[in-house]
Structure 1
């Protein structure tokens, strides 16, 4: 090794004397020639590695950096040369001594271990011993940082060791795998149950990164030596967490899939490491791996059996023989995803006897009730799941598939998944997660919920577990496994109402999401359950009708409205409705609720429609209306008449109408809102009750009715005439208690009445005439805007050009509001197909005001359109617009209009120059540049 020169030796003396020079020296020094001299001077002594110290900020520790490490790291690549093997031994000995010193003195310095992790990669592997891996294990326990060390040791060094064919390197790799994937089990924080959680020593993103980098490579290079490490860890997870019983709950798909909800959990990372190593092992050693796959398929752990099924699917060319070992025990929720895809992907390649065995197994699947009787709907649903995987592989299969489809009513939306991934956001923290609750039987789940509820004490601290969080998690649990719950709802009949609410809400969401299930059985159980709940005396106890801070006894604001929305959802659409045979029971449930549920308070500050549709009573009324409409449609389809249906329901609605006199205004609001539907059910009843519905003698009642009517999008001539003649519309427009939404809706109704020829401009009693006479800015602004929204109606132009001059006649262009209205009228330029004397004058009057309300954009687009056929007229309107605005956006419209002018010839070119001159006068040079680009292509101006 080259000796130090005199100058270099002097430099060492200087850094001995001046500590402040050392960091700079160690950053700059390179080469092994320095090592011995530095070592003799004590710079590599173990006590030079600094321990963490208390930081200035209270509660924090600072981890100092050992400057000598810069030199050691930068020099370590030289250790790869055989000629430097003596130094390689010195480096590894240094690493050992420093680590032992830290262990003896009970401290750790992650910065040092991080740099050692870089150095050790350059030391020949033959010099690394078993005890050295133990030192690395110590590094990976650093209390302040481990990810940086893991990156070097796992992602880089371990990967390099796996690439080597040297037996010693493989041994080191196995040892590293063992320490990297060492698990730690901890008790869960909540006080109920005895659940555990598992962790690796690293942040989940660090662990996931190393797994992606080395799991497959380990399986391919090390075979079963690596796999047995991952398998042992996975089995440890399954035993300690007791989650193999419902394996599909915590891991819906063995492969990487968006349905897997906790992909960063340690248990998922361990599973993925095992999965990837197994697949790589099979690919690398297909013959040797077969007996191992057989062991996995027959494993007592369902999760491992799933991995075997997944492996057979992925490597079918090597493992097809193991289809023979698939039996009826695999046709259940735990194995569904992997087996379903194995059948879907490879059934056509099965041997005839394998196909026959699979089909017979599916035919023999059955769901039994408590008495042992087969449940047709659930059985068909269960068979349909598996048939959907193979339905394209034979006429006999498709025939059986169609039979099941008719019973169920539709194919499951996600037949390959046992639990429906409709997991929503739970803002409140739950003491138990979904996996824990799903692992319980329904009876044990009910006991767990009630035990927590009885012992629950609200915490003043933020983000603590709560009853609301638990109830909302229950909803997700039911949605994940609806068929485990639908025929055991009676077990919840005595449960706390917060749990009952979420239970019903779960099935409502499943129905609304159109998840294919045996709904006939579910609706039967669900309506029985609802009826049972609302018939209980405790349900109507006075305390339950109040909104509680803790969410717990929220009967009025929860269950009543939820049942109403459930029945509404089941009757609203003929394409997605429950069976006709449930209508009578649903009506019974609704009538019980309407009889007992009081209305909400209505006041002048709130929107009546919002109050009505969000109140429990209002939601039940909407359910009744939709149920009645459904009954009418069915009767009309069957007999051509539904008068008997209306005769049955009419007394109920008349009774509801009278409740407004008791201060309950939900129905009066909703009957006006659903007026078109009531006209369908009974025009006579509506006509006879119009004065009662729009009752001007009862101001709150009238406000509610007019608010409800304002949301009606269809205008009926008779109703509109009634409201106009009796002064309801004018009164509403003048009433300060109405929100803008109602005024806008009424203006739109007036516009539609005008467009539909219900009213004439010349008729002084017409509402359209009244709007012009009133000259109110807000009303005219809304009228202009709404008619513009109807611009796609080709038949509207006559009406527009009849109204346009009348509007300009009442607008004062000398006022700010008048100029703004003129600007809004620029949007009506879209109705101009061809400029003539009449409409040109209209455009010229409004063009100077285009930018008052930022409508230059639309006017320029119209000018560009006009310029194609009428460049002179376009130029005249454009110049008029430029009197008030120098806006040049959109650029495409300006360029198009200039191009069209230029294409006319010399006159058009003069017009184009006149236009851009106006822009230049306003210090806007862009149109001038665009004109040059048009007239002088290739020039940059």
Structure 2
């Protein structure tokens, strides 16, 4: 029988786990990369099956061509990439062997990661790349995207010898299949494509060879870095009337004339040249130009907004993806001038969001994205003044844009972070945090940031409290801990306006933002609790997804850390003594996810078992058994280290209902764990459970449990368990175990 390799966690949780791969690489070095490489190889039958990776993983870096793919193979490739980048950052010397191993791998995907990292850190690994390079990398399709961008990013840094090596590879390229029709033309096409990423980078021989091939064969395809490029099924194909090379060849005056004169004409098939197509090639031109298109900035004041989108997108991708410089100060001066033009405000008021062409809202989002890009690379910090200028620019834009009334939606955060205004607000927080991070002990810097933020915060909070600015409500709820770090006096004064006591719509939006919190800060917990918001989040029905869960988790953590008591007057006491099943079941699940030896050693287990006991007492005093809640209580058995009479009583009551919430397997696992130390008590609990259902998974846990009971000399109890399984219609589960116990009993007599 052939078994398929599967992961122990699903793709969603694997993605969450590997989101920290870069930090793991920094902390663990090459070891974590080696482990992830091994896991990737285990996903595949052999290296040959990895040769078609380029079809489903078109780029090693994060790319829109792969944006809809998140299965385990994609996630592990991204994990290898990110952990390797982290290892390089932590110790470039140790990483030499790591990158060499990637380049030497039999698996093309791992080689592609090695090529990508060499391109990102050419100063560290350029010599290693050329020492280990293989002509096949410049030939076969699976390596093409990474080779294209390696050449484009690094060509100017090639030594004279390395440039000659590259040109020699180009000149000597030949088709392996000698029977291929028109193979000479194919060879020339490939040579043209190989030269394209190096064109315009100061080498006259490369430029000459490329020009000769273009004059004979025509320009490269629209997306020369991909052999397979998907335009997507949702949109029309984005064709351009001219290539990115044609754009670069034009003077600013010529390009301006072309842009204002071009008018898309539909041919009925949806594949005619379009604004989007031309904007896409503008992006490519900005990325590949020597000057980042700085001399072209003035021509974008009065052209279609799609082209401005193409320009800003190109600047962002040039900085993030290509690791190439852009003229930051000239860029923000250009954007500021653009935003202050009355035509910009008119476009905002008259924008047609039903049109698929990039419009003014796209441009506003592009400005936010570009600002965030400026702080995305700690190795290339921009000046403080640039960040300050961006925040001032955001203030101007926020004052121009009317907040959207999103209504009582259940996904306020997604609506906010995907709206132009929401992106500006989120970028404001992120840039201010970056400023503060750079010197967090400087009191004058703290005051400067507060003065910078106050007009924006004060402008937003008034419409927020009135229920007319759900974007700010959601994002303020999401970033409330960060706002407190930046401007504590402001948020303390306005806490009941963010979590509005005037507008239920605004409160729900802020509560949904709160559900993204990951840490229990004392001030935040106390503010939510004392002002009634935490109780409301726990008890109110039909709240947005995640709100009640997060509030319950805050309550549970506060209880474990001594910030919340289990008394009749506390929120937790209200839930326990009122037997409020929904939040109590959520708490049981949350406590179960918190299980580890350290927490048990630090007293968390004692508190959780006390929580269980109080619920059990309250159920006994009631009129019903609360079967679903009792089932959930079985999760807390992971914290049992000693079975006292009280714990045994509580567990026997809960065990009878374990399978109501499908906790039978967990019950059996925990009984098995404790069976050697407490065989008699475990037997009692299991027999009580058998009154209601037959715990049969994991079979090994069941056998280990029964054998432990027998080894303790409790043969009657062990046989009673076997007999009860037989009576309940499952004699096969313990047949052999029963016979073995009978034999052992005879030997002991």
TM-score range normalised by the length of the shorter chain: 0.5 to 0.7
Deviation at 1:814, TM superposition (A): 8.9
**Equivalent residue for 1:890?**
698
**In 2: Cα distance, 1:307 partner to 1:664 partner:** 51
1:519-598 pair list within 5 angstroms: 519=325, 521-524=326-329, 526-542=331-347, 545-552=350-357, 554-556=359-361, 558-571=362-375, 574=378, 577-598=381-402
Q: TM-score, normalised by structure 2?
A: 0.64
Matched, 1:748 2:553: yes
1:267-307 C-alpha deviation (Å, 9 max, x unpaired)? xxxx9994226899xxxxxxxxxxxxxxx9xx996855999
**Equivalent residue for 1:276?**
176
1:91-170 pair list within 5 angstroms: none
Would you say the 8 A contact 2:287–2:315 is kept in 1?
no
Deviation at 1:810, TM superposition (A): 3.3
**In 1: Cα distance, 2:391 partner to 2:208 partner:** 36
Deviation at 1:703, TM superposition (A): 3.3
Deviation at 1:765, TM superposition (A): 3.0
**In 2: Cα distance, 1:583 partner to 1:419 partner:** 33
Would you say the 8 A contact 2:371–2:427 is kept in 1?
yes
Would you say the 8 A contact 1:572–1:626 is kept in 2?
no
Alpha carbons of 1:632 and 1:431: their partners in 2 closer, same or farther (altered >3 Å)? closer
**In 1: Cα distance, 2:224 partner to 2:642 partner:** 63
Q: TM-score, normalised by structure 1?
A: 0.52
Deviation at 1:495, TM superposition (A): 3.8
1:649-668 pair list within 5 angstroms: 649-660=453-464, 663-668=468-473
**In 2: Cα distance, 1:488 partner to 1:507 partner:** 13
1:215-266 C-alpha deviation (Å, 9 max, x unpaired)? xxxxxxxxxxxxxxxxxxxxxxxxxxxxxxxxxxxx9964214243799xxx
Give 5+ residue unaligned stretches, structure 2.
Answer: 1-134, 148-170, 196-201, 211-222, 744-749
**Equivalent residue for 2:590?**
786
Alpha carbons of 1:896 and 1:729: their partners in 2 closer, same or farther (altered >3 Å)? same
Matched, 1:738 2:532: no
- Give the paired residue count: 554
Would you say the 8 A contact 1:609–1:708 is kept in 2?
yes
Alpha carbons of 1:887 and 1:774: their partners in 2 closer, same or farther (altered >3 Å)? same
Deviation at 1:843, TM superposition (A): 1.3
Deviation at 1:838, TM superposition (A): 2.6
Alpha carbons of 1:654 and 1:572: their partners in 2 closer, same or farther (altered >3 Å)? farther
Q: 1:772 aligns with which of 576, 592, 607?
A: 576
Would you say the 8 A contact 1:489–1:526 is kept in 2?
no
Alpha carbons of 1:815 and 1:612: their partners in 2 closer, same or farther (altered >3 Å)? farther
**Equivalent residue for 2:533?**
728
**Equivalent residue for 2:140?**
256
Would you say the 8 A contact 2:248–2:285 is kept in 1?
no
Deviation at 1:620, TM superposition (A): 0.5
Would you say the 8 A contact 2:244–2:282 is kept in 1?
no
**In 1: Cα distance, 2:412 partner to 2:724 partner:** 54
1:813-835 C-alpha deviation (Å, 9 max, x unpaired)? 99898101111111111111232
Matched, 1:705 2:514: no
Would you say the 8 A contact 1:608–1:669 is kept in 2?
yes
Alpha carbons of 1:887 and 1:456: their partners in 2 closer, same or farther (altered >3 Å)? farther
**In 1: Cα distance, 2:718 partner to 2:731 partner:** 14
**In 1: Cα distance, 2:353 partner to 2:271 partner:** 18
Deviation at 1:895, TM superposition (A): 3.2
Alpha carbons of 1:931 and 1:599: their partners in 2 closer, same or farther (altered >3 Å)? same
**In 2: Cα distance, 1:918 partner to 1:669 partner:** 56
**Structure showing greater Rg:** 1
**Equivalent residue for 1:377?**
none
Would you say the 8 A contact 1:811–1:821 is kept in 2?
no
Q: 2:487 aligns with which of 670, 682, 685?
A: 682
**Equivalent residue for 1:917?**
723
Structure with the greater relative contact order (CA < 8 A, sep ≥ 6): 1 or 2? 2
Q: 1:455 aligns with which of 264, 269, 273?
A: 264
Would you say the 8 A contact 1:899–1:934 is kept in 2?
no
**In 1: Cα distance, 2:257 partner to 2:283 partner:** 16
Q: 1:672 aligns with which of 458, 463, 477?
A: 477
**In 2: Cα distance, 1:923 partner to 1:452 partner:** 83
**Equivalent residue for 2:198?**
none
Would you say the 8 A contact 2:619–2:626 is kept in 1?
yes
1:74-85 pair list within 5 angstroms: none
**Equivalent residue for 1:855?**
663
Would you say the 8 A contact 1:569–1:577 is kept in 2?
no
Alpha carbons of 1:850 and 1:477: their partners in 2 closer, same or farther (altered >3 Å)? same
SS in 2 for 1:884: coil
**Equivalent residue for 2:411?**
607
Would you say the 8 A contact 2:283–2:313 is kept in 1?
no
Alpha carbons of 1:466 and 1:330: their partners in 2 closer, same or farther (altered >3 Å)? closer
Alpha carbons of 1:846 and 1:617: their partners in 2 closer, same or farther (altered >3 Å)? same
1:364-401 C-alpha deviation (Å, 9 max, x unpaired)? xxxxxxxxxxxxxxxxxxxxxxxxxxxxxxxxxxxxxx
Alpha carbons of 1:706 and 1:573: their partners in 2 closer, same or farther (altered >3 Å)? farther
**Equivalent residue for 1:47?**
none
Alpha carbons of 1:626 and 1:802: their partners in 2 closer, same or farther (altered >3 Å)? same
Would you say the 8 A contact 1:594–1:620 is kept in 2?
yes
**Equivalent residue for 2:644?**
836
**Equivalent residue for 1:57?**
none
Alpha carbons of 1:450 and 1:885: their partners in 2 closer, same or farther (altered >3 Å)? farther
**In 1: Cα distance, 2:293 partner to 2:531 partner:** 53
**Equivalent residue for 1:517?**
323
Q: 1:825 aligns with which of 612, 624, 633?
A: 633
1:206-605 pair list within 5 angstroms: 254-260=138-144, 274-276=174-176, 303-304=190-191, 329=204, 426-427=232-233, 428-430=235-237, 432=239, 437-442=243-248, 450=259, 454-457=263-266, 459=268, 464-465=271-272, 467=274, 470=277, 473-474=280-281, 477=284, 481=288, 485-487=292-294, 490=297, 491-508=299-316, 514-515=320-321, 517-519=323-325, 521-524=326-329, 526-542=331-347, 545-552=350-357, 554-556=359-361, 558-571=362-375, 574=378, 577-605=381-409
**Equivalent residue for 1:248?**
none
Deviation at 1:328, TM superposition (A): 5.0
1:692-749 C-alpha deviation (Å, 9 max, x unpaired)? 4334133333333333334323333334333333333334445446224222222222
1:658-680 C-alpha deviation (Å, 9 max, x unpaired)? 34367234323322321211221
SS in 2 for 1:918: helix
Deviation at 1:776, TM superposition (A): 2.5
Give 5+ residue unaligned stretches, structure 1.
Answer: 1-250, 264-270, 281-295, 309-326, 336-416
Would you say the 8 A contact 1:813–1:819 is kept in 2?
no
Alpha carbons of 1:861 and 1:465: their partners in 2 closer, same or farther (altered >3 Å)? farther
**In 1: Cα distance, 2:520 partner to 2:709 partner:** 46
Alpha carbons of 1:734 and 1:904: their partners in 2 closer, same or farther (altered >3 Å)? closer
**In 2: Cα distance, 1:875 partner to 1:757 partner:** 35
**In 1: Cα distance, 2:187 partner to 2:694 partner:** 80
**In 2: Cα distance, 1:562 partner to 1:816 partner:** 59
Deviation at 1:811, TM superposition (A): 3.7
Alpha carbons of 1:550 and 1:813: their partners in 2 closer, same or farther (altered >3 Å)? farther
1:463-513 C-alpha deviation (Å, 9 max, x unpaired)? 6457476268548736974757554552545442234324433544565xx
**Equivalent residue for 1:194?**
none
Deviation at 1:639, TM superposition (A): 7.2
Would you say the 8 A contact 2:473–2:510 is kept in 1?
yes
Alpha carbons of 1:450 and 1:259: their partners in 2 closer, same or farther (altered >3 Å)? farther
